[in-house]
Every structure is written in structure tokens, then in C-alpha cells.
């Protein structure tokens, strides 16, 4: 090999050498940094001890440290003691997990669930579930290739659905004047979009606003969606995180199902089990009957197989162990409550601080605070040690004193 390669290289004319130096990728432009992960990089580079990262949406304990749930640790100990294998999962995931995940979301007394009429596949966390959903709707939704998402919405929704081949459109959601739900605007928009459209709804803990419809408002939304024959696709990335109660946070989804809507659902266990990096989630669709469920599951498998073949094992085993053990389930529910309550108490304290500092009602970003440009913050990044510094910095920034 060497004997041939050397003389050839030496003999290469100048143009050939120049061409070889020009990379195939020479014209690929640098893309913009991810709006959330870029914030974390800037945070890491800051040496100030007061620095606060409110960019990434991951829970932190009262000392600002990542938190591994005790129920998760126990599930892992149990799994290790049973000497598990590392074989591939089926394309649609771990059956004990998907079954338990659907029960957590839809409720034990859900009609479609008890009729074996919910098609469900495990997914690579919530993002993967949305991506499977996007591909499924693109391939099989008979009415349109558009999806309506709230304005604003989680930043990745647009990219996920666009890359699934859907056209992304918006409906009104947030009213900057009241810093609350623009319920009138939302209803008007849902009434004016074409019948049979696909609509994405945040099931609870709307990201980035933190503003959810009340149960009464959900009922009205459900009625409009029914009148207009819209198809509701719920994104439930925070079940239990909004109120501390997984049943309460599933209200919207369960109400729609009990009203006879067919729904699609994306679930994530990143936040409520703290399994961020394990990538545990599920995508499901309620069907007319068991036969339809089987047809849909066969198609969902056909979507998953060329995407990533089959989902990751470890996190699904953890979630399944917790969801299927009455003891661990109770412990997990308490831990969800604990996380939600800490976030709620930080929200209250932040509000009180901003009011007592007489902060005008607009937000800016300054000081050693790392957050996304849209003003969204991860409440879980606040704790008893940094909430005062954060409040004072926001207050000064808004008053132009920073
Ligand atoms: N949907 C929403 C609304 C989210 O906020 C998130 C996470 N930030 C996700 C889905 C997906 O998260 P993951 O893929 O980590 O489960």
C-alpha cells in the first residue's frame, strides 16, 4: 500500500492537491446555537459565585444541585439485584412500561384503556414522542398537513413538527397585558382555523408561560374542538409538576377523553421522575376499538424501526418498576409533590420579592443570570439561596438600574 501511495502523492499536480484540500463541507454554514443549551455554556464560563442558571428546564434541589429521586434510586437497586440483561427491547418498547405509562396518563378507569383501544409505543422521552407523533400525523392524518401550536410554545415544537413534514401554525395563547391566558383570543382562533385541523395542547404547566387554562376553560376548549372537529394532540411533559398531583394535572386529557374525543398524547418522564438523560417517554393514540389499536401500533412500529430501531432500556425499566410497585409509586408521588411544592414556593417568593421591590411589570436580563431571551425561566433553578439575588437583579434591570 505504502509503495503505491507515496509516488502517487508526490506526482499529484497542483490543481488536484488544491481540490483535495477543499472539504466536501466547505459551504456548510455554522448554525445558530441552541437557545437553551447555549445559555448553559455561558453559565459555565461565568466565575461569579452568585451566578444562576434558569435556562435549562431541569429540577434542582434547595441547594441548586441536580436531584435523583429516592424512588428512582430504589428502583435501580432493585433492578441491579435482579441481574438484568441488556438485550434489545421490542420496537414498541417495554410492555410493562407502556401499559403503566398509559394508565398514569389516562387513568385506571379510562374507557379506551379498559377497552384495549389505546395504541402506545415507548419513545425517546417527550421530544421523541412528539417526533413519532409528527411522523404519524404526516403519514396518516387524513385532513391536513398543518399543526396549530400555541403562541408562544416550547421552542422545539416548531422544529420537531417541521422536520416531521408538518406545516406549523399558531393560535393565540398568552396575553402580555394581563400576563395570563388570552382566553378570548384562543377561542377565536380555534373557531376560525379550518375544521379537522390538528391542534397541539400543553396538558399542564405550559412552557414557556406557566399559564394553564382552568378546568372550566378546558371544558369550553373541549367543546370548541368538538364543534370544529379539530384533533387534539396533548403534550404532557410535566404531569405532576404543575400542581404536585398527577391526577389533577391529567384533568384536561381525561376530560377530553371522557367527552368522546379521540386524542394523541406525548408523555415524558424526564421531569416528574427526574430521568432527563435516560430518555423515557411514550406516544399514544386513542382508537375506536382493539382492532384499530392493533393497526395503529403496527404502523407506529413501522415509523420507529427506521428512526432508531427500538428504544432505550434502562430508564423504561426504572419507570416501570416505580409505576408497577405500590410502595415505590406512593414514594414517587410524594417526591413529585415535594418538587412541585418547592417550585410553587419559589414562584410565590419571587412574586412577593418583585412586588416589595416595586418592580415594574416588564422583564429584562442582566447580572449573573442565565435565561433564554424570551424571558422564560426554569423556576426549579431558584432556591432559598439565590431567589433574593435574582429578584433584586430583575428589579434593578427593569428599573434601568443595572
Ligand atoms: N414538551 C415540552 C412542553 C417541554 O417543555 C419539554 C422539555 N423541556 C418536552 C416536551 C420534551 O422534553 P424531553 O424530551 O426531555 O422529555
Q: Where are the alpha helices (DSSP H) in 250-386?
A: 251-258, 290-308, 314-323, 326-356
Whether ligand 1 lies within 6 angstroms of the CB of 354 is answered as no
Are 372 and 304 in a shared domain?
no
* Cell numbers standing for residue 139: 403519514
Q: How far is the CA of 399 from the centre of ligand 1 (A)?
A: 33
Query: Rounded mean pLDDT of the chain?
Result: 91
- Name which residue leads in pLDDT, 181 or 56: 181
Are 243 and 350 in a shared domain?
no
Within a domain: 248: yes
* Cell numbers standing for residue 315: 430508564
What is the pLDDT at residue 71?
98
Domain count along the chain: 2
Q: How far is the CA of 9 from the centre of ligand 1 (A)?
A: 52
Do the Cβ atoms of 241 and 268 come closer than 8 Å? no
Give the whole-angstrom CA distance, residue 245 versus residue 75: 21
What is the pLDDT at residue 364?
44
Q: How far is the CA of 326 from the centre of ligand 1 (A)?
A: 27
Report how far Cα 126 is from the mean position of its chain's Cα atoms. 5
Helix and strand totals (H; E) in the chain = 16, 11
Within a domain: 10: no
What is the pLDDT at residue 363?
55
Q: How far is the CA of 153 from the centre of ligand 1 (A)?
A: 11
Give the whole-angstrom CA distance, residue 19 versus residue 80: 55
Give the whole-angstrom CA distance, residue 109 versus residue 268: 21
Q: Which of 209, 237, 252 to mutate to test the pocket of ligand 1 (most atoms within 8 A of CB)?
A: 237
Whether ligand 1 lies within 6 angstroms of the CB of 237 is answered as yes
> In this structure, are strands 280-286 and 118-124 parallel, antiparallel, or unpaired?
antiparallel
Q: How far is the CA of 237 from the centre of ligand 1 (A)?
A: 5
Are 160 and 241 in a shared domain?
yes
Do the Cβ atoms of 21 and 15 come closer than 8 Å? no
CA-CA-CA-CA torsion sign (338, 343, 347, 349): positive
CATH of the domain at 366: 3.90.1150.10
Whether residue 348 lies in the annotated active site: no
Within a domain: 290: yes
What is the pLDDT at residue 4?
40
Q: Which of 126, 206, 269 to mutate to test the pocket of ligand 1 (most atoms within 8 A of CB)?
A: 126
Are 285 and 181 in a shared domain?
yes
Are 146 and 245 in a shared domain?
yes
Are 149 and 270 in a shared domain?
yes
Q: Examine the pLDDT at 3 and tell me if it is beyond 70.
A: no
Q: Examine the pLDDT at 362 and tell me if it is beyond 60.
A: no
Give the whole-angstrom CA distance, residue 88 versus residue 316: 12
Within a domain: 214: yes
Are 246 and 178 in a shared domain?
yes
pLDDT tens sequence across 259-307: 999 999 999 999 999 999 999 999 999 999 999 999 999 999 999 999 9
Give the whole-angstrom CA distance, residue 62 versus residue 338: 11
Do the Cβ atoms of 133 and 110 come closer than 8 Å? no
Q: Which of 270, 275, 308, 380 to mutate to test the pocket of ligand 1 (most atoms within 8 A of CB)?
A: 270
Within a domain: 371: yes
Whether ligand 1 lies within 6 angstroms of the CB of 207 is answered as yes
Confidence of residue 6 (pLDDT cuts 50, 70, 90): very low
Are 272 and 306 in a shared domain?
yes
Q: Between 326-356 and 387-399, two packed helices, what is the crossing angle to 10 degrees?
A: 40
Whether ligand 1 lies within 6 angstroms of the CB of 125 is answered as yes
The rounded percent of the chain whose pLDDT value lies above 70 is 94
Within a domain: 264: yes
Candidate from 65-79, 110-124, 210-224, 384-398 with smallest mean pLDDT: 384-398
Q: Examine the pLDDT at 9 and tell me if it is beyond 50.
A: no
CATH of the domain at 282: 3.40.640.10
Phi-psi region of 210 (alpha: psi -120 to 50; beta: other; left: phi over 0): left
Whether residue 34 lies in the annotated active site: no
Give the whole-angstrom CA distance, residue 388 versus residue 393: 8
Which residue, among 153, 332, 337, has the nearest Cα to 233 in the 3D structure?
A: 153
What is the pLDDT at residue 366?
60
* Cell numbers standing for residue 278: 435516560
pLDDT tens sequence across 153-203: 999 999 999 999 999 999 999 999 998 999 999 999 999 999 999 999 999
Whether ligand 1 lies within 6 angstroms of the CB of 117 is answered as no
The three state secondary structure string of 348-385 is HHHHHHHHHCCCCCCCCCCCCEECCCCCCCCHHHCCCC
Quick one: DSSP state of residue 67? -
- Name which residue leads in pLDDT, 182 or 354: 182
* Mean per-residue pLDDT, 45-62: 88
pLDDT tens sequence across 319-336: 999 999 999 999 999 999
Residues of the domain holding 254:
88-312
Confidence of residue 393 (pLDDT cuts 50, 70, 90): confident
pTM of the model: 0.90
Are 104 and 186 in a shared domain?
yes
> In this structure, are strands 146-151 and 198-202 parallel, antiparallel, or unpaired?
parallel
Annotated active-site residue in 235, 249, 293, 332: 235
Do the Cβ atoms of 272 and 240 come closer than 8 Å? yes
Whether residue 271 lies in the annotated active site: yes
- Contacts of 11-19 with CB under 8 Å at 24 or more apart are none
Amino acid at each position: 500500500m505504502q509503495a503505491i501511495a507515496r509516488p502517487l502523492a508526490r506526482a499529484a499536480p497542483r490543481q488536484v492537491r488544491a481540490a483535495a484540500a477543499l472539504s466536501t463541507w466547505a459551504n456548510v454554514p455554522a448554525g445558530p446555537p441552541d437557545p437553551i443549551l447555549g445559555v448553559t455554556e455561558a453559565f459555565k464560563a461565568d466565575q461569579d459565585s452568585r451566578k444562576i442558571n434558569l435556562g435549562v428546564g431541569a429540577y434542582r434541589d434547595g441547594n441548586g444541585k441536580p436531584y435523583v429521586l429516592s424512588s428512582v434510586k430504589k428502583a435501580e437497586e432493585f433492578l441491579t439485584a435482579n441481574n438484568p440483561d441488556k438485550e434489545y427491547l421490542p420496537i414498541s418498547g417495554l410492555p410493562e412500561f407502556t401499559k403503566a405509562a398509559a394508565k398514569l396518563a389516562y387513568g385506571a378507569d379510562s374507557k379506551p384503556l379498559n377497552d384495549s383501544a389505546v395504541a402506545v409505543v415507548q419513545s425517546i422521552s417527550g421530544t421523541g414522542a412528539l417526533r413519532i407523533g409528527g411522523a404519524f400525523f404526516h403519514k396518516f392524518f387524513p385532513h391536513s398537513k398543518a399543526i396549530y401550536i400555541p403562541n408562544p410554545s416550547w421552542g422545539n415544537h416548531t422544529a420537531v413538527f417541521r422536520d416531521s413534514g408538518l406545516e406549523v401554525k399558531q393560535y393565540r395563547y398568552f396575553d402580555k397585558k394581563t400576563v395570563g391566558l388570552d382566553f378570548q383570543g384562543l377561542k377565536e382562533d380555534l373557531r376560525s382555523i379550518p375544521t379537522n385541523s390538528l391542534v397541539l395542547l400543553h396538558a399542564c404547566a405550559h412552557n414557556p408561560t406557566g399559564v394553564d387554562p382552568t378546568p372550566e376553560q378546558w371544558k369550553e376548549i373541549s367543546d370548541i374542538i368538538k364543534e370544529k372537529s379539530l384533533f387534539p394532540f396533548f403534550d404532557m411533559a410535566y404531569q405532576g409538576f404543575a400542581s404536585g398531583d398527577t391526577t389533577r394535572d391529567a384533568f384536561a386529557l381525561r376530560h377530553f377523553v371522557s367527552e368522546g374525543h379521540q386524542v394523541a398524547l406525548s408523555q415524558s418522564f424526564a421531569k416528574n421522575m427526574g430521568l432527563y438523560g435516560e430518555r423515557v417517554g411514550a406516544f399514544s393514540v386513542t382508537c375506536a376499538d382493539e382492532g384499530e389499536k392493533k393497526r395503529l401500533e403496527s404502523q407506529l412500529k413501522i415509523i420507529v424501526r427506521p428512526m432508531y430501531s427500538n428504544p432505550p432500556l434502562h430508564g423504561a425499566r426504572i419507570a416501570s418498576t416505580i409505576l408497577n410497585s405500590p410502595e415505590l409509586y406512593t414514594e414517587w408521588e410524594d417526591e413529585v409533590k415535594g418538587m412541585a411544592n418547592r417550585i410553587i414556593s419559589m414562584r410565590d417568593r419571587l412574586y412577593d420579592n418583585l412586588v416589595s421591590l416595586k418592580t415594574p411589570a416588564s422583564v429584562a436580563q442582566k447580572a449573573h443570570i442565565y435565561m433564554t431571551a424570551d424571558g422564560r425561566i426554569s423556576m426549579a433553578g431558584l432556591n432559598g439561596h439565590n431567589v433574593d439575588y435574582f429578584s433584586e437583579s430583575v428589579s434593578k434591570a427593569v428599573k434601568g438600574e443595572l
